[in-house]
Chain A
Amino acid sequence: QKEVEQDPGPLSVPEGAIVSLNCTYSNSAFQYFMWYRQYSRKGPELLMYTYSSGNKEDGRFTAQVDKSSKYISLFIRDSQPSDSATYLCAMSDNAGNMLTFGGGTRLMVKP
């Protein structure tokens, strides 16, 4: 079993929909939780960064962490075609030297 599990998709939604992307993990030492966005044939770029449990909002994006369930989510409101990309969750322990990534979920937002 992988340390971080993520549904690979693809997830296809109409423009304007609310999107929910999720990851589960098994290592209770993880304290920092990230979402990276990767456009086709590009390198990943950091989208959201959270520490421990709780919610964090940035514009149309909300990251949610539930450490008791070992479950993290990314919500995208009013999704746009430009949101079409692969979304990777990543997490690290307190030392923060290494990240463990999920397999990525491919999202397609159709006009």
Chain B
Amino acid sequence: NAGVTQTPKFQVLKTGQSMTLQCAQDMNHNSMYWYRQDPGMGLRLIYYSASEGTTDKGEVPNGYNVSRLNKREFSLRLESAAPSQTSVYFCANQKRAGGRNEQFFGPGTRLTVL
């Protein structure tokens, strides 16, 4: 089982370019998340999806859009990249069992916007 996979692993964009970060899970969990991680800032939630077809904004949604077309995949789109979006992006899913919520993370996408 691959768990949570992300593509690409690395990306360099120029200001104004667009791109989509892909995330897929084979764990059959309903909830999926997109975070960004910047030095000293921990993980900040961009968007999340509680189930297929639903999405909600997190702490830092500006400049991003998401799409949850099916249970397995949750993509993050940057329509017009800015240098402030240089970061490491993590996708995660969440398992709920017996009152315990555990999030599983992908390996991350390192994005640089010039």
Contact = CB atoms under 8 A, between A and B. Distances in A.
Note whether A and B form a binding pair.
Answer: yes
A98 interface: yes
Interface string B22-63: 000000000100000000111111001010000000100000
Contact of B43 (A8, A46, A101): A101
Interface residues of A, number: 23
A80 B44 CA distance: 29
A6 B43 CA distance: 12
A104 B100 CA distance: 22
Interface residues of B, number: 24
Interface string A86-111: 00101010001111011110000000
B74 interface: no
Nearest to A104: B42
Contacts of B31: 97
Interface in A65-92: 88, 90, 92
Given A6-B42, A43-B92, A97-B31, 14 more contacts: A8-B40, A41-B108, A43-B106, A43-B108, A44-B90, A46-B104, A51-B99, A51-B100, A96-B101, A98-B48, A98-B58, A101-B44, A103-B40, A104-B42
